[in-house]
Amino acid sequence: MAYACPNTESKEWKMLVEQVGEELANMAFVRNGYEIPNVVPLSEIKKAIGFKNETENWANIAAKLIKYNKKHGTSHSFKPVRAYGNTWRLIFKPNYLPVNAEKQRQRLAAKNEYFRVEGEYKPATETLYTPSPSEQAAGFFTEDGDFLPNADRGLYDSTDELLAEAGGQIRSAEINRRKLFEKQIRSNREELAKATKEADIDKILKIQKELAYLQDKIDNPSSGAKRMITLSSKIAAFEQVLTLGNERIK
């Protein structure tokens, strides 16, 4: 179903998985209301923020990244690794989750492997680095070594943010899902009426089986569209979004 799982053969989905990995792609898909987020080539993002693979000072890059993430609702970041002398190699890390959702994912990942993605944790031994004044003015380092804008610092110091908008997005997707089932049921009933008139027993049995299947998709007490609509109205945190969307993706 278009509203239940991503089109894994689409160009957009393949680009998303190539950039962020399948786990994070699935999370972004669920968080975006069961729709593939607006994925753009990495070269386009890097050009927009003036990204450099190596630099001695990345304050200007970070400043542009702040504006880019705010405009596009993403949480792209970069990780600096010392190359030589005062030169640092910047490793760009694309992420199509909003910053608050990504932070909640990181917190949950520490407790539940379901929320972890490839490359989650830094090595046990790592050279500590004190940012320059201009870098400190532009952003800060997370525990995973990602450099993020200061505007996001509160999200990393506070308790889990509630995602009030998530419930509405998921509920809308589930309502559309139910409408698709109901539309197919109406069509099948019309076909059933014709088959009954023609006394086509085989076709009657086949249509009745399809009708029972579709009705179960709506009424099933554990995973039916009716129950999912009810549950989506109670979503208060990111983990609930992923829990509700897990069956849809798989």
CA gap 94, 84 in Å, rounded: 25
pLDDT value of residue 14: 94
Parse the chain into domains and list their residue ranges.
11-157, 164-234
pTM above 0.85, yes or no: no
pLDDT value of residue 206: 86
pLDDT value of residue 234: 60
Residue 192, both tokens: 């059933």
pLDDT value of residue 146: 59
Q: pLDDT truncated to tens, each residue of the chain (250 aa)? A: 444 678 888 999 999 999 998 888 888 888 888 889 999 999 999 999 999 999 888 888 888 888 898 899 899 988 888 888 788 899 999 999 888 778 777 777 776 665 566 555 443 333 445 566 666 666 666 655 556 666 655 554 443 443 445 556 666 777 887 888 888 889 888 888 888 888 878 888 888 888 888 888 888 877 777 877 776 666 554 444 555 555 454 4
Are 4 and 228 spatial neighbours (Cβ–Cβ below 8 Å)? no
Could you tell me which of 159, 163, 162, 129 has the C-alpha nearest to residue 146? Answer: 129
**DSSP annotation of 114:** G
CA gap 236, 85 in Å, rounded: 47
pLDDT value of residue 45: 94
Residue 234, both tokens: 């109670």
